[in-house]
Amino acid sequence: MSPALASAAPVASRRVADASPYERLSAAERYLHLTRDRAFLALLGRRGFARLAGLRILELGCGEGSLLRSLLYYGADAVRLEGVDIDAGKVSRAQGSLAGLRLAVGSIAALPYRDGAFDLALAFTVFTSVLNGRARERGAAEALRVLRPGGLLVVYDFWINPLNQDVRPLRAGELRALFAPRPVEVERVTLAPPIVRALGGRPGLCAPLERLPWLRTHLLAAVPKEG
Ligand SMILES: C[S@@+](CC[C@H](N)C(=O)[O-])C[C@H]1O[C@@H](n2cnc3c(N)ncnc32)[C@H](O)[C@@H]1O
């Protein structure tokens, strides 16, 4: 990774300074993933989950396993890392490259796990794929149900996306309402991907723009389950 990206934002973990989970990606996609990861790991550190080793972690809507691979890279244990997705084809492809992980086909609205099974639940760009408001509410309730008391749900999703008609953005107000009355910590992250791509992911150009909150398209939220 270039020194410019390394200094673009606070580094939560030394491992995030190494771009290897994303070395096959374009510079723009790498920039987007690394800046997301940096904000995510910083949030985990603030919330007392800095060490992924030993944690039981579930990814909701894991798709083909991109985030799961990153979590392994950042120190999660394969035996305690699980994923679930509604799309059986994606789960099958994810399983092909993540042989040791337990992956399941299922909906976030009816999770196939017992109450309190996980320390950490992650919902990265999955709520925006669920268009129906009631289904979002069920997914939010399910995410909290499978967390142990004192566990943490992290949501990363976009609040604006005018280019994709197949998804529905998740606004901060709706996000807070989904989990009310719990306190939800929400921050804006991720420089608008079309801008990052237009700039070729060059850190020296992207990082100054990323400091402007109104150019950030995603929300990163922490939802603690009461202990
Ligand atoms: C944009 S992808 C995100 C994949 C992954 N979380 C990531 O960040 O790379 C959205 C995923 O949510 C899954 N999905 C959509 N609705 C779902 C539901 N009701 N339950 C579980 N997964 C769902 C889709 O199949 C897809 O894999």
Beta strands in 159-213 (DSSP E): 185-191
pLDDT per residue as tens, the chain (227 positions): 433 333 333 334 444 445 578 999 999 999 999 999 999 999 999 999 999 999 999 999 999 999 999 999 999 999 999 999 999 999 999 999 998 899 999 999 999 999 999 999 999 999 999 999 999 999 999 999 999 999 999 999 999 987 888 999 999 999 999 999 999 999 999 999 999 999 999 999 999 999 999 999 999 999 999 98
Q: Cβ of 34: how many Cβ atoms within 10 Å? A: 26
Q: 215 C-alpha vs ligand 1 centroid, how far in Å?
A: 24
pLDDT in the model for residue 162 = 79
Q: What atom of ligand 1 comes closest to residue 130's alpha carbon?
A: 16
Reported as half-sphere exposure (CB side, CA atoms, 13 A), residue 154 has a value of 26
- The answer to whether the beta carbons of residues 185 and 136 sit under 8 Å apart is no
pLDDT in the model for residue 161 = 87
Binding-site residues, ligand 1, Cβ < 6 A = 61-63, 66-67, 85-87, 90, 107-109, 124-126, 129-130
pLDDT in tens, 158-180: 999 878 889 999 999 999 999 99
Q: Which residue among 59, 66, 126, 167 is best mutated to probe the pocket of ligand 1, counting the most ligand atoms within 8 A of its Cβ?
A: 126
Task: Using the CB atoms, write b or e for 62-88: b if 16+ within 10 Å.
Answer: bbbbbbbbbbbbbebeeebbbbbbbee
pLDDT in tens, 27-60: 999 999 999 999 999 999 999 999 999 999 999 9
Give the separation between CA 211 and CA 77, rounded to whole angstroms: 34
CA proximity to 190, closest of 207, 172, 175, 168? 207
pLDDT in the model for residue 19 = 56
CATH architecture of 3-224: 3-Layer(aba) Sandwich (3.40)
Task: Domain ranges for the chain, please list them.
Answer: 3-224
